[in-house]
Amino acid sequence: MIAKSENRFIRLNFISIVVTLMVILAGGIVRSTGSGMGCPDWPKCFDQYIPPTSASQLPANYKEKFVAQRLAKNERFAKTLEKLGKADLADSIRHDASIAQPEAFNVANTWTEYGNRLVGVAAGFCLVLLVFYSFAFKKSAKRIIVLSVLNLLLIGFQGWLGAIVVSTNLTQWVVTVHMLLALVILGILIYTYNYAKMLHKERSVIMYRILWLKGFLAFTIIITIVQIILGTEVRESVDVVAKSLQFNGRNTWVSKVGSIFSYHRDLAILVTICNFIVYKMVIDRFSGKGWPLLTANYIMITLVVQVASGFLLSYLSLPPYAQAIHILFATILFSLQYYLYLLVYRTATYKPN
């Protein structure tokens, strides 16, 4: 029997997972629409809590003001990198001429980025509440408390990193770290959700050997993460190409990205094959409508959408809606794979006495 306080945590944990996915979707929309610099400062937007809707509402000398603030923030960040032994990265930020270029006001981009920040704030509030609710497990599962506190610290760091993304004018490696940290936060949420849900349940037992499935599923998760990293780097390369062409000739951007796109495409084939193998292994070992089988079905649906959006990106000149869908479903695929792994991990093979 699960206590009401524990059920409350489980429900909020699930809501937090959904909100985190919404944050990633919002981030994908921001990237695909080129709205990343829609707000040149952080946490305010054009020095306002409610962003402007017209140029007449902008503060005086806003371009010079925000460029000066950005350069000062980047200098502090560069000094931090130097202390960590990353002098080359620090120099690259100091000598990046694009950082000193002011962004023109665009009301659509501003409100798109502002919406992204609002969703991020909602995720932060969810994780704050999750820490309070996690104390329902102070006697039965202290790891849930520890991980909930850790996740709150991580989302605070993620917010700071978001400010660095803005101040460095979307520097490529910072954007990649920002995405990977989102996966870490999501992974912890999925773990605490599953652990709390299964805490008072007996371990599942099946008649078939489970070790191969555990190992191959772990491998599939790893290559999916690598694929997400490559996808982020492809997106960053596309941004470089687009800027070099002054955002003209959109139908040529993919062809100019280079080998990173080929790696991403080829690895997508391997990811697809591995997920089909995982699906076959699950349906061979689990019967009925158990959660592992149901999760595997969701993985297949997600994979179809992910592959379809990839084709749209490749052959329809990178439509923004397909970019956002592609990022979201890549993240959902990782989430479902990891959740399936947690379910399978708690499963044992029946051994007669």
Instruction: Report pLDDT digits (tens) over 99-130.
Output: 677 777 888 889 998 998 899 889 999 999 99
Domain boundary residue among 141, 173, 201?
Answer: 201
Q: Distance (Å, rounded) from C-alpha 68 to C-alpha 20?
A: 32
Does residue 70 have a pLDDT over 60?
yes
My answer on whether 114 and 180 are in the same domain is yes
My answer on whether 171 and 314 are in the same domain is no
My answer on whether 13 and 144 are in the same domain is yes
My answer on whether 263 and 346 are in the same domain is yes
Quick one: pLDDT at residue 200?
79
Q: Distance (Å, rounded) from C-alpha 270 to C-alpha 288?
A: 28
My answer on whether 166 and 267 are in the same domain is no
My answer on whether 168 and 105 are in the same domain is yes
Question: Comparing C-alpha atoms, which of 113, 148, 107, 125 is closest to residue 10?
Answer: 148
Quick one: pLDDT at residue 165?
67
Which tens digits make up the pLDDT trace of 315-332? 888 888 888 899 999 999
My answer on whether 106 and 18 are in the same domain is yes
Looking at per-residue pLDDT, the higher value among 89 and 328 belongs to 328
Q: Given pLDDT bands bounded at 50, 70 and 90, which one contains residue 289?
A: low
Question: Which residues share a beta bridge with 257?
Answer: none
Quick one: pLDDT at residue 162?
73
**Count of CA atoms in the C-beta half-sphere (13 A) of 189:** 29
8 Å CB contact between 169 and 37: yes
Q: Give the structural domain span for 242.
A: 205-353
Domain boundary residue among 201, 234, 252?
Answer: 201
My answer on whether 123 and 147 are in the same domain is yes
Query: Residue 266 in 3-state DSSP?
Result: helix
CA distances from 288 to 209, 282, 291 (A): 18, 11, 9
8 Å CB contact between 254 and 261: yes
**Amino acid type, 143:** R
Mean pLDDT value of segment 171-184: 79
My answer on whether 171 and 225 are in the same domain is no
**Structure token pair of residue 66:** 């925000």
Which tens digits make up the pLDDT trace of 221-239? 999 999 998 888 888 788 7
My answer on whether 243 and 180 are in the same domain is no
Count structural domains, the chain. 2
Quick one: angle between helices 172-198 and 211-244, nearest 10?
150
My answer on whether 256 and 179 are in the same domain is no
Domain boundary residue among 182, 201, 220?
Answer: 201
Does residue 276 have a pLDDT over 60?
yes
Q: Given pLDDT bands bounded at 50, 70 and 90, which one contains residue 209?
A: confident
Q: Distance (Å, rounded) from C-alpha 314 to C-alpha 111?
A: 28
Place of tokens 């994780």: 127
My answer on whether 211 and 166 are in the same domain is no
